[in-house]
Amino acid sequence: MSLVYFIAIPILASFLTPFYKNYLRFVSVLVNILLAGFAAFFYSRLPLNEFISLDSPLSIIFILDYVSFFFVSLFIGVMLFFSLYSIKEKNNTAVFVVTNIFTSGALGLILSADIFNIYIFFEIASISAYILTGLNRDKVAYSGAIKYMIVGAVASIFLLLGIMLMYLNLGYLTLSSIGAGFHTMDKGIQYLVLLSLFIGFGIKTEILPLNFWVADIYQATPTKIAALFSAVLSKAYLFVFFHILYTLKVDAPALLFLTAIGLLSFAVAELSALRSKDVKRIFAYSTLGQLGVLFLALSSANVVVVSGALFLILVHSISKLMLFFSLDLVEKKMHSTRVEAFAGFRSAFLFTIFAIGFLSLLGIPPFAGFIAKLTILKGFASMGAYGIVGAILAISLVEATYFFRLLSANQRSKKTAEIKVPLLQKIMLSLLALAILYLGLFPQGLLDFCTDAAQTLIQGVIHV
Amino acid sequence: MSLKKTVGLKTILTALLISFMSMLLLGVIMNAAYTHTSLGYDLLKINTISTQSANAVTSVVTYFRGLDTLGEVTILFLSIFGIGIGIERSDRMKTILGYDSTLLKIGTKVLFPLIVLFGLYIIAHGHLSPGGGFQGGVIIASGFLLMFLAYGDSYDLDHKVLSLFEALSGAGFILVGILAALAGGAFLGNMLPLGVLGKLFSSGILPIIYIFVGLKVAAEITVLVEYFIRTQDARDA
Amino acid sequence: MFNFEITALGNMFFGLTVLVFVSLFFVPNKHRSVTLYSLLFASLACIFYASDLITLFIGWEIMGWSSYFLIAKTADKQTLQKYIVFNIGGAFTLLGAIILIYGACGSFVYSELDFSAVPSGQVTAITILLLLTLFVKSGIMPFHYWVVDSYSQSNDLFSAVLSAIISKTGVFAFILIFFQIITVQYLQTPILEVVAWLGVLTSIIATFKAINEDEAKRLLAYSSIAQVGYIVTILSIMGSLSLEAALYHTVIHTFVKLLLFINVAAIIYVSKQHRFSTLGGLLYKYPLNFILLVVGIISLAGMPPLGGFSSKFLIYTALLEEHKGLLLAAVLFSSASAFLYCYKLVYGIYLGQPTNPKTEAYPRIPLRFYVPQILGAVILITLGTIPGVIVPMFNGILGSVGFEPVLYRGVFVLGSDFASFNGGVVIGAFGLIFVLILLFFVRLKNRSVKPKDRLDISYCGEVPRADVNLHYGYGMGRELSRIGLIKMILSRSSHALWQRVSTLFGDLSGITQKLYTLSAQNMGLVIFAFFTILLYMGVK
Amino acid sequence: MLETLNQTTFLHTVVAIGSFTIFTIGLVGVLSKKNLFKIFLSLSIVESSLFLFFIGSHFEVGKAAPIVADGIKLFDGHMVDPVPQAMILTTIVIGVAVLALSLTFVVNYYRLSGNIDIDKMDELGEVQ
């Protein structure tokens, strides 16, 4: 068994599209099931690494340790869910061609421990995202895609600059050798490399001064695809960034800077959502806010906080899938994602799903978001960082304001349309809601795994 | 016209900012000490033993860092696919660049097979001399470009064949990699005899991969050329 | 997570919850939602029987959002927004306090928390955060902004739950955390003084607001705020007698509010009228309801001989014993003023003449409305007669939180060494006087003249015009605002403050939103400028 | 004089200054041109400048291309590092792909909206 199958098989499925043009959706489901099987196969063999093509550390290295396994299984789960959820959409071959490659791009980002290889997967994931943004083929979509491409190109320029500088000064590309040699470099170069990586990945992980494009992109993207951006894409970049950061063993002031940026990002994003009148943009802002929390939690270098952040990543992905997919159903019926449209639908099922999603994102028990938030706060308390605890709670209150405004808008407005949710969608969405409830009530198993994963992440890349 | 009107204050400020940034960047970069031990030199040392390829760049591209190349081929495929989604095929499609010249038509008829042959040569000798899959692929595509330019709308590509080429060459790359993994080695590892340095049939898996890459690139770039040269004229819309 | 423990304190509060829920189960309810009510019930059990702070918090939050969805069935958007923002905010301060406690003591379990090594600054922070939570839940000013609207706009039956039980969770948490977990010795006295005064001020202000109120349920809501204000004041004395007084008042207030809210709910159910100005003259139509209301308001005003007196007596005694003369005066003032709004309830609904011409057509009150009312009345009368009967239970609670038990001298006697009274004697004396007065009136009845129509009030020396609505209760309390101090109290409102906060955040949001609509090119400029600044700072 | 010109460090300096000049020119184009085509072409220029810098920085005086031919029989330290060349080869193809895709988007956008000015793209934003 090879780790490359995680990447090669979805790409293969997309390459061979002409042979099963109209059945690609089934193939995608099969591919994702196959990948889930691989993940299950590797679970008992953790942690492991694999040299690609040349059996020596000089070649590209893939690493599957606890933390990358966490992300790999999360992404496969999300993509499997996505492909099952849209299995009835017959005329959507294009989406599946791109999402398959998108999957392999995201998985490659997680698995690869070679900085240039990471750049390649970074590009694969980004380009699939550009295409997915332009998928609606109207003015709005192309406008979004163009904006995305300009900003994305800037990000890849910075990443490329960082990689080039590292290769120029160190001569190696694997994360572990870069980590070993990083502190032997000239101080200025060290700083420049870190800065380029921060800007390159910061744009993609949607961190404060670099995230002003995000809401527009989410608005332009088809709603279901926006769920993938929120649940998979930004998480993949986030992981890679911190994987590299912890491998490079950056010093405390740099981490503190990231913490501050994360907190600021959280605050500004949640504040912006307060007066927004478009539900899709509100969800985008909420994603930005949660990414801010993740950023500040992941940069703490504390096992408890990081494990909470990993838990939050899972919960946030599930919640955002739920919310965006439900919003998609609303959008199909009401032909708009504005708050007025959101207020006008009648469906007890969808309302429940929205309520559970919101409560979970807010970190309100008994839903899983609470466990994540509690773990993060507990960790900060044990570090003595009470200011951060207070700030997170205060900003969460702002978040609560707009989420409950949406709920009460729907409850107390005149209903103009009744939404009948198809059975398949109903089952799939209920599954997500149950998962959130289950994780909220019985989090221990996952928390233990997250703790292992957090330890691996903070340690940085070490070859097995 | 005053300078302010032609250039604008914002542009000047932007230029100042960027120049300042470049200056800072240069200042930092000039300080750096370039390394003399690197991955590349290590790979050079083992190149003969592990690939028997005369062109070290080819070894790196197709073998040592074959996965990067797979990713790159994927990106190429993805972009062309994305372009294909965006461009609607309709009857109003026409070649927007075309020269109606008999001389060109006849010359092209003679040149086209030669160009394709040359492209194939470049691809096949990627492991022996400068060149390889990308270069050869683009040369082949340039042959098709010539055909489009010469024959205009009367030249028709068989899209079925083209997409089959696209699919099979890409899939072939991955399947070779998987076969290598199944044969017991690493993904994209060498499973064939290496042969003797300098011979056409040498270097094991390398030429095979480069052939797939070359065909893939040729097919993709041809499609790209067709998309761009034969679109609904933007001015019509 | 989810560790439970049966405690005397929990038993008491949970017992009250069970009684209220069971009795309310009989009342007809248009918006009955079994899921949400059972969720609420479970969350209350979770709060009262928790043995670690996280379980408490989980119960607290579930209580918050399940009651949100219950209120959402009837309330308008703004009320809902107020309710949820304040309650979630309160819950988050609770979470903040819990996290602080965890940071200081390293555990969530009650029995493992030890504050001996915690720096006093941290204890102060914890105390303030917790107090914020309790203030929000119990509606202490200025955090009462959400209370009145939510009480008045929620479903009639759920208002009773809100007032009788949910406002008490704040009291419960106060006792649990300050008395049992942190314990008196580590608390800061100045903070408690402030709390005591906040409580009593709240009760005074709320009392006057209630007097000025025209809507029955809003009046009861203000009254609820005022009563919980007393409880908070007396709790902040932190003595064993004061704890007993607080517990006693909690029990009394629970049943008083259960009785009164359902009483008013019954009237609203039959008449569809919420305002005193459209009610009146219902005495002969609903005499039983009237009698139950009288039982309720006598207790609410804290007059002898019913249960309300017993608890007020204990409150006064506790204040006196601790030599809190000023506080006592304030409590007495507020308590005496409370009589005015109690009177309004009687007059506005039952006395005077019906202002609504359809009064005759009102249907009978369904018998099921009487179940909780009679339960409340029976308990109030019992506690008036044998006030000492629950003292042993309170002593159990006092013992469990580490306090000296108070003196117990049989079921009839309540009080301390300092002062005590015999419930049997009091009720006997009042009963005797009541019977005498009743007899007097029965004798007088034959000699009284029945008015012929609503304009026939010639005894007043003034004949109103036909278009004047004659209603004694209408506009009552307006004249109060001529008094300088009271006018000031009434004209001030925290509305403006919270409105300003909300506008401020709205404006900030508008500003930050502008950032998120930058064009790609300006976005690029931002990125490069940011990079340049960081680079410059780093290189320099 | 010619000796100085033929030194590796000098060449590296020239490459660095030259490529960062192109870098600046490209970036100014990206940030101040209004035409979407010009913006994407400028981005392409910026990328090219980085390629130039990277490849140029790995050239050392006296070293040959990493190919065995014409008298060079062995792979050893007398050849330049092949990895940057392979990396740039890969990156160039990526750049081409991205450029093609972005230009297609621009063409499509122009076809639908008749607008090619970046300042007039107002399809997205907060609804009022």
Find chain B residues with C-beta within 8 A of A129's C-beta: none
Q: Which of C521, C523, C531 to mutate to test the interface with D (most CBs of D within 10 A)?
A: C521
Query: Tokens standing for A385?
Result: 């960082």
Residue A412, chain D, CB below 8 Å: the answer is no
Question: How does the average pLDDT of chain A come out, rounded?
Answer: 91
- Check CB contact of B71 with chain A, cutoff 8 Å: yes
Q: Are residue B113 and residue B10 in the same domain, yes or no?
A: no
Residue D54, both tokens = 């990277």
Q: Is A281 on the interface with D (CB under 8 A)?
A: yes
Q: Which amino acid appears at position C358 of this protein?
A: K
Closest Cα in chain C, distance from residue A353 (Å): 14
The answer to whether residues A314 and A239 touch, using CB atoms and an 8 Å cutoff, is: no
Check B77 against A14: CB less than 8 A apart. yes
**Across B26-40, C269-283, D6-20, which has the greatest mean pLDDT?**
D6-20
Would you say C391 and C244 are in contact if contact means Cβ atoms under 8 Å apart?
A: yes
Do B18 and B124 fall within a single domain?
Answer: no
Q: Which amino acid is at C500?
A: R
pLDDT of residue C160: 87
pLDDT more than 90, % of chain B: 30
Distance, CA of A106 to CA of A110 (rounded, Å): 7
Per-residue pLDDT tens for D92-110? 999 999 999 999 899 889 8
Q: What is the DSSP letter of C474?
A: T
Name residue A174's beta-bridge partners. Answer: A114
Q: Which of D102, D104, D118 to mutate to test the interface with A (most CBs of A within 10 A)?
A: D102
- Are C217 and C264 in contact by the 8 Å Cβ rule? The answer is yes
Q: Are residues B67 and B85 in the same domain?
A: yes
Q: What is the pLDDT of residue A76?
A: 95
Q: Which amino acid is at B20?
A: F
B30-42 b/e (C-beta count within 10 Å ≥ 16 → b): eebeebeebbbbb
Q: CB count, 10 Å around CB of C138?
A: 28
Taking the mean position of all CA atoms in its chain, how far away is CA A324? 14
User: In sequence order, what DSSP letters do the residues of C31-61 get, joined into one string?
Assistant: T--HHHHHHHHHHHHHHHHBSBHHHHHHHHH
Q: Please check whether residue B175 touches D, CB under 8 A.
A: no
Residues 6 or more apart whose CB falls under 8 angstroms from that of C363 comprise C270
Q: What is the pLDDT of residues B122-161, one digit of tens each?
A: 999 888 888 888 999 999 999 999 988 888 777 878 888 8
**What's the number of domains chain D is made of?**
1
pLDDT digits (tens, 9 = 90+) for A18-69: 888 888 899 999 999 999 999 999 999 888 888 887 777 888 899 998 999 9
The encoded tokens of residue A395 equal 């900003």
Domain limits for position B172: 39-231
Chain C nearest-CA distance from D122, in A, is 9
Rounded to whole angstroms, how far apart are CA atoms A163 and A203?
Answer: 16
pLDDT of residue A446: 92
B25–chain C Cβ distance below 8 A for any pair:
yes
Q: Could you tell me if B73 and B53 lie in one domain?
A: yes
Write out the residue range of the structural domain in which residue D41 sits: 2-62+77-118
Is residue D123 domain-resident?
Answer: no
Q: What is the 3-state secondary structure (H, E, C) of chain A?
A: CCCCHHHHHHHHHHHCHHHHHHHHHHHHHHHHHHHHHHHHHHHCCCCEEEEECCCCCCCEEEEECHHHHHHHHHHHHHHHHHHHHCCCCCCCHHHHHHHHHHHHHHHHHHHECEHHHHHHHHHHHHHHHHHHHHHHCCHHHHHHHHHHHHHHHHHHHHHHHHHHHHHHHHCCCEHHHHHHHHHHCCHHHHHHHHHHHHHHHHHHHCCHHHCCCHHHHHHHCCHHHHHHHHHHHHHHHHHHHHHHHHHHCCCHHHHHHHHHHHHHHHHHHHHHHCCCCEHHHHHHHHHHHHHHHHHHHHCCCCHHHHHHHHHHHHHHHHHHHHHHHHHHHHHHHHCCCEHHHHHHEECHHHHHHHHHHHHHHHCCCCCHHHHHHHHHHHHHHHHCCHHHHHHHHHHHHHHHHHHHHHHHHHHCCCCCEECCCCHHHHHHHHHHHHHHHHHHHCCHHHHHHHHHHHHHHHHCCCCC
Q: Do B33 and A169 touch (CB under 8 A)?
A: yes
Nearest to B55 among D21, D67, D101 (CB): D67
Contacts of B237 in chain D (CB under 8 A): 111
Interface subset of D 27-66, CB within 8 angstroms of C: 27, 30-32, 39
Partners of residue C143 in chain A, C-beta under 8 Å: none
Q: Measure B14 CA to nearest chain C CA, in Å.
A: 8
Q: How far apart are the C-alpha atoms of B221 and B141, rounded to whole Å?
A: 6
Torsion of CA A414, A417, A422, A425, to 10 degrees: -50
Cβ partners under 8 Å of residue D37, min gap 6: D103, D106, D116
* Per-residue pLDDT at C470: 58
Confidence of residue B1 (pLDDT cuts 50, 70, 90): low
Q: Which of residues 63-92 of D touch C (CB under 8 A)?
A: none
Q: Is D15 on the interface with C (CB under 8 A)?
A: no
pLDDT in tens, A59-115: 889 999 899 999 999 999 999 999 999 988 887 888 999 999 999 999 999 999 999
Calculate how close chain C gets to B26, using CA atoms only, in Å.
Answer: 12
Which residue ranges of chain C lie beneath pLDDT 50? 458-459
- Which of D81, D85, D94 to mutate: most B Cβ within 10 Å? D81
Please report, for the domain that includes residue D84, its CATH number: 1.10.287.3510
Q: Test D98 with A149 for CB contact under 8 angstroms.
A: yes
The verdict on B57 and B20 lying in the same domain is no
CB contact under 8 A, A165 and B29: yes
Contact of C263 with C348, CB cutoff 8 Å: no
Residues B27, B44 within the same domain: no
Distance between CA atoms of B58 and D58, rounded to whole angstroms?
18
Tokens of C481: 């605002």
| Number of other CB atoms surrounding residue A51 within 10 Å | 18
- In angstroms, the CA C431 to CA C437 distance is 10
| Complete DSSP assignment for C139-189 | T-TTS-TTHHHHHHHS-HHHHHHIIIIIHHHHHHHHIIIIIIII-GGGS-H
Please name every residue paired with C414 in a beta bridge, in sequence order, or none if there are none.
Answer: C421
Whether chain A has a CB inside 8 Å of the CB on D121: the answer is yes
Running DSSP on this structure, what letter comes out for residue C421? Answer: E
- Ramachandran region, residue D74 (left: φ > 0; alpha: ψ -120 to 50; beta: rest): beta
Q: Which residues of D touch C528 (CB under 8 A)?
A: 27, 31
Test B82 with D69 for CB contact under 8 angstroms.
Answer: no
Q: Using an 8 Å Cβ cutoff, are B214 and B134 in contact?
A: yes
Q: Where are the domains of chain C?
A: 1-185, 188-446+471-493, 498-539
Question: Considering CB atoms only, which of D24, D65, D89 is closest to B22?
Answer: D24
C-beta of residue C13 within 8 angstroms of C-beta of residue C168:
yes
Q: How many helices (H) and strands (E) does chain C have?
A: 20, 2
Mind listing the pLDDT tens digit for each residue in D48-76? 999 999 998 888 888 888 888 777 777 77
Contacts of A210 in chain C (CB under 8 A): 526-527, 530
Preceding amide of C142 cis, omega within 30? yes
- Domain contains D94: yes
Strands A417-418 and A345-346: parallel
Q: How far apart are CA D12 and CA D54, in angstroms?
A: 10
C525/B24 Cβ within 8 A? no
Would you say A433 and A352 are in contact if contact means Cβ atoms under 8 Å apart?
yes
pLDDT value, residue C453: 58
| Chains linked to B by 3 or more Cβ pairs within 8 Å | A, C, D
Considering the domain architecture, whether residues B72 and B138 belong to the same structural domain is answered as yes
**pLDDT in the model for residue C456:** 52
Cα separations in angstroms, C138 against A179, C145, C224: 56, 11, 9
Q: Does B23 touch chain C (CB under 8 A)?
A: no
Chain B contacts in chain D segment 17-36 (CB below 8 A): 17, 20-21, 23-24, 27-28, 31-32
* 8 Å CB contact of A389 and C99: yes
Looking at chain C, which residue has its C-alpha nearest residue A282?
Answer: C513
- The rounded distance, in Å, linking the Cα atoms of C481 and C499 is 24
Q: Distance from B56 to chain D by nearest Cα, in Å?
A: 5
CA distance B114 to chain A (A): 29
> Measured between CB atoms, does B21 come within 8 Å of chain A?
no
Chain D residues 37-96 with a CB less than 8 Å from chain B: 57-58, 65-69, 74-77, 79-87, 89-90, 93-94, 96
Strand partners, C413: C422
Query: Is the CB of residue A306 less than 8 Å from the CB of residue A454?
Result: yes
**Cβ contacts of D97 on chain B, cutoff 8 Å:** 75-76, 78-80
Complex prediction ipTM: 0.93
pLDDT given at position B235 = 47
B118 — contact with chain A (CB < 8 Å)? no
Cβ-contact B86, B173 below 8 angstroms = no
Q: What is the mean pLDDT of residues B175-180?
A: 89
- For residues A113 and A65, what is the distance between their CA atoms, to the nearest angstrom? 11
Spell out the residues 6+ positions from residue B22 whose beta carbon is closer than 8 angstroms to its own.
D20, D21, D23, D24, D27
| pLDDT for position B237 | 43
% pLDDT > 70, chain B: 90
Minimal C-alpha gap between B60 and chain A (Å): 9
Q: State both tokens at C198.
A: 């906040």
Assess if residue D125 is contained within a domain. no
Q: Which of A94, A117, A171 sits opposite B68 (nearest CB)?
A: A117
Kindly state whether residue D128 falls inside one of the protein's structural domains.
no
Q: Contact C525/B14, CB-based, under 8 Å?
A: yes
Q: Per-domain residue ranges for chain A? A: 262-464
The whole-number average pLDDT for the span A324-344 is: 90
Phi and psi for C114 in degrees, rounded to 5?
-135, 120
* pLDDT, position A42: 92
Is A318 a residue whose pLDDT tops 90?
yes
B131: left (phi over 0), alpha (psi -120 to 50) or beta: left
pLDDT, one tens digit per residue, over B56-111 is 888 888 888 889 999 999 999 999 999 888 776 655 566 666 677 888 889 999 99
Handedness of CA B15, B17, B19, B25 (dihedral sign): negative
Q: Looking at chain B, how many residues does it have?
A: 237
Contacting partners of chain A (3+ CB pairs under 8 A): B, C, D
Residue C275: helix, strand or coil by DSSP? strand
State whether B26 and B43 are in the same domain: no
Residue C114, classed as helix, strand or coil, is coil
The answer to whether the Cβ–Cβ distance between A60 and B175 falls below 8 Å is no
Nearest Cα residue to D77 out of B76, C166, B42: B42
Closest in D86, D101, D107 to B234, CB measured: D107
* Residues contacting residue C277 through CB under 8 Å, at least 6 positions apart: C214, C355, C469, C471, C473, C474, C475
Could you give phi then psi for residue A278, rounded to 5 degrees?
A: -120, 120
